[in-house]
Amino acid sequence: MPETDRIIRLKTVLARTGLSRSTIYRKIAEGTFPAQIKISINGAGWRESDINRWIANPVAWQPEGGRRDGR
């Protein structure tokens, strides 16, 4: 059975990547970091698998499907 993909919050992403909050949001805008997904009206998080792929190879990371604009 495949493992479920957890949603992790900003605090965890900051700790796992070693990046600052402003750097994460700048990289999202540039298309070089996984975008957040909305999980509630006021909450958002990241798929853990996306963050793991970015950590494994940040230079070559691109969104699933190969587009850097997050679509």
For the segment 45-68, what is each residue's pLDDT rounded down to a tens digit? 999 999 999 999 999 888 876 655
pTM, rounded to two decimals: 0.81
DSSP letter assigned to residue 62: -
Q: How far apart are CA 42 and CA 56, in angstroms?
A: 29
Q: How far apart are CA 56 and CA 3, in angstroms?
A: 18
pLDDT for position 64? 75
pLDDT for position 67? 52
For the segment 8-28, what is each residue's pLDDT rounded down to a tens digit? 999 999 999 999 999 999 999
Exposure string over 7-16, b if 16+ CB within 10 A, otherwise e? ebeeeebeee
Q: How far apart are CA 71 and CA 64, in angstroms?
A: 9
Q: Are strands 37-38 and 44-47 parallel, antiparallel or unpaired?
A: antiparallel
